[in-house]
Amino acid sequence: MPAEKISLEYAKQDKLMYFVVNAVVYRESDSRCLILKRSMREKVHPGRYAVPGGKLEWAQFDLSKPTRVNGDVLDFENALEDLLTREVQEEAGITIQPQLTYLNSVFFIRPDGIPVILIKMAAKYNNGEVKLEEGAFDDFAWVGEEEIKNYECIDGIAEEVIRTIKLFRK
Do 103 and 120 form a contact (C-beta atoms < 8 A)? yes
The pLDDT tens digits for 77-96 are 999 999 999 999 999 999 99
The pLDDT tens digits for 113-124 are 999 999 999 999
Catalogue all structural domains in the chain, each as residue range(s) with its CATH number: 14-168 (3.90.79.10)
Determine the average pLDDT of the residues in 99-106: 97
Is residue 15 pLDDT above 80, yes or no? no
* Selected residue with higher pLDDT from 62 and 93: 93
Confidence bin at 170 (pLDDT 50/70/90): confident
**Which pTM does this prediction carry?**
0.91
Confidence bin at 13 (pLDDT 50/70/90): confident
The pLDDT tens digits for 148-167 are 999 999 999 999 999 999 99
